[in-house]
Structure 1
Amino acid sequence: MAGFYGLNGKKLQRQFKDYLSDFKQWKEKSHAKDWLLFPENIGKQLSIDEVALSKGELYTIVTNKKAKGKAGSIVAIIAGTKAEDVSGELLKIPNSKRNKVKEITLDMANTMKLIAKTCFPKATQVTDRFHVQKLALDALQDIRIKHRWEAIDQENNDVKDAKNNNNTYTPITFSNGDTLKQLLARSRYLLYKTQANWTTKQKIRAQILFEQFPDIRKAYVICQKLRTIFNNRLITKAVAYTKLAKWFKEVEDSGFKAFNIVANSISLNYQSILNYFDNRSTNAAAESFNAKVKAFRAQFRGVRNVEFFLFRLIQIFA
């Protein structure tokens, strides 16, 4: 705007902050860095998540799902993620309002579960399905990365041997032009997708990858079975319980250490994960809101003044 009107940008920014925006008269300014509460925005369905505002400093944000990331979304912004600190601020909201909450979506962090239990005791906790799936996908990627490091190490040794014997090293290439190292590096994104969403080149690469590494194929199938359980909208909570039990058994039989860790994490959050199948609620609203906060932060090239950033944020979303 300053450039369009031929003004000094920094001076215009100072004028906006000090005189045009009502920032100096903001009543919550004194405690904005620590907590901001908007009880009037509480709804029956909430989401709770963490976001980094400045220099990696984390804030816990509670949002109303009904607002869909628009005005009235923010219920609370509280510095830090420590359960007792966040709960201490949220408990300032009257019981009558907090007891209206029927459902709260969250990730698998124990601190978030404790905050939800303490502050919204009548709300059903729903663990976000995408966090569950991400754990399984991370385990799959760990297997791929392990093979990639082995391929890099093997190639380095082959290059050294070729030099010692005064030979030129020529890596083996597959039918699609990939070397083993390239095959493992370039397969990263196709493993996140379902087979139906693979491009023609990804189908060819996946076929070669699974032929060379049967364990990656086995791990990929396990991930897709978990995705199918969540994607099937005809599955009831009771059926989901049975299918997840069968998935656990398959994970145990697979022998993959990383997947056993995933299975143990899921078992500790079993009930809240199954609660997803009641209303198919996810934490996507919170993740979407976090993305908006990050975009807002990037638009202004970072956060120099946290209070002013929060002031602008609540003008739009609270």
Structure 2
Amino acid sequence: METRPTTSRSLETYYHIDGSTFEKQYKEVLSGYRQWSDLSHADKWLLFPKNIGKRLCIDETAISDGELYTIVSNPEARGGKGSLVALVKGVKAQDVIDTLKLIPENLRSMVKEVTMDLSNSMNLIVRCCFPKASRTIDRFHVQKLACDALQEMRIAHRWDAIQEEADTMEEARHYGKEYNPVTLANGDTKKQLLARSRYLLFKSSEKWTESQKLRASILFQLYPDIKEAYSLTHSLRMIFNKNRTKDESRLSLAKWYDKVDTSGFKSFNVIASTLYEHYDEVLNFFNNRSTNAFAESFNAKIKQFRAQLRGVIDIKFFFFRLVKLYA
């Protein structure tokens, strides 16, 4: 199947024209870019009040040169026209609030729910700009905290295993002996076991393959703390998967806090404190089981569009084209 051209310059191959000249003509004349009403402030903020819906998502993404922008999107548009509600340069709460308040209050009051990550600044933005909306923290950001803590423990043990292996090799060299690494029941060394266990720790045990089951069995036998941390991570995931009401989930989280406290794992205590700080917003997930997955997907669309253009040279023109697609 023939690939369709995606840039002005690629038309050179298909239609034997000067791609550079056509690109300039498209930007300056054909596209209407110079007559765009938002051109003067396009690199600072863009607002599309008509795209507001009862449910919104808010997130941040890097557009060009690591410069962060706050994006408000409407998941009901399903990633097509009408998806983009607001795009504001930076993540400073007051700057975003001042911009979003340019949207008429009656439209902002229509919003019933906003999903977001664990950022305090995002929480403040939503509270100030959409006062009648419930704030829902994305469950996957919460689960990621637990997964990160678990992987941190695995990595710490792996560094110890690397150091242990290096010391053993040095000792063998010192005494003129041949170094033979100790292998486990599945053929891994300790270092390999800890490296190769990364992906299985992200999954539920019922999704493990036979080789992963054997590897996990050896891992948990050698490192009981990783086994306990995996259990904490899995039980947190199950709270979101199986519970259906706020009251049920509140009780389950209280029991989970007790397990974390008993474990004595510092990283998990930090997670528990973070969840406690955002307790109501985390539990709001169980109202409609809403997540911020659409915001992550929309960010990916923007990055894919940027990749098709092979980077961003003129940020305002990039946003102009983005608006044509998604606003």
What TM-score range do you get, normalising by the shorter chain?
over 0.9
Q: Residue 165 of structure 1: CA displacement?
A: 1.1
Percent identity over paired residues = 53
* Correspondence for 1:146 among 143, 152, 156: 156
* Correspondence for 1:289 among 261, 274, 298: 298
Write the deviation string for residues 145-173 of structure 1: whole angstroms up to 9, x where unpaired.
11011111111111111111112211111
Q: Is the aligned partner of 1:161 residue 2:194?
A: no
Do the aligned partners of 1:229 and 1:235 also contact (CA within 8 Å) in 2?
Answer: no
Q: Residue 214 of structure 1: CA displacement?
A: 1.0
What's 2:260 paired with? 251
Q: Is the aligned partner of 1:312 residue 2:316?
A: no
Write the deviation string for residues 241-284 of structure 1: whole angstroms up to 9, x where unpaired.
00000000000001111100000000000010011111101111
Write the deviation string for residues 11-54 of structure 1: whole angstroms up to 9, x where unpaired.
33323222222212211111000000000000100000000000
Aligned CA distance change for structure 1 residues 4 and 175 (closer, same or farther; 3 Å): farther
The answer for unaligned runs of 5 or more in structure 2 is 6-10
**One-letter amino acid of the counterpart of residue 117, structure 1:** R
* 1-structure distance, mates of 2:25, 2:261: 63
* 2-structure distance, mates of 1:34, 1:132: 31
Write the deviation string for residues 167-200 of structure 1: whole angstroms up to 9, x where unpaired.
2211111232211111111111111111122222
* 2-structure distance, mates of 1:220, 1:306: 44
* Correspondence for 2:308 among 294, 299, 306: 299
What's 2:206 paired with? 196
Do the aligned partners of 1:148 and 1:185 also contact (CA within 8 Å) in 2?
Answer: yes
What's 1:45 paired with? 55
Write the deviation string for residues 102-134 of structure 1: whole angstroms up to 9, x where unpaired.
100011100000000110011100011000000
**One-letter amino acid of the counterpart of residue 268, structure 1:** E
Aligned residues: 317
What's 1:184 paired with? 194
The answer for unaligned runs of 5 or more in structure 1 is none
Do the aligned partners of 1:128 and 1:273 also contact (CA within 8 Å) in 2?
Answer: yes
Normalized against structure 2, the TM-score is what? 0.94
* 2-structure distance, mates of 1:292, 1:198: 31
RMSD of aligned Cα (Å): 1.1
- Give matches, 1:125-136, under 5 Å: 125-136=135-146
* 1-structure distance, mates of 2:79, 2:273: 33
**One-letter amino acid of the counterpart of residue 249, structure 1:** D
Q: Is the aligned partner of 1:80 residue 2:90?
A: yes
* 1-structure distance, mates of 2:167, 2:19: 57
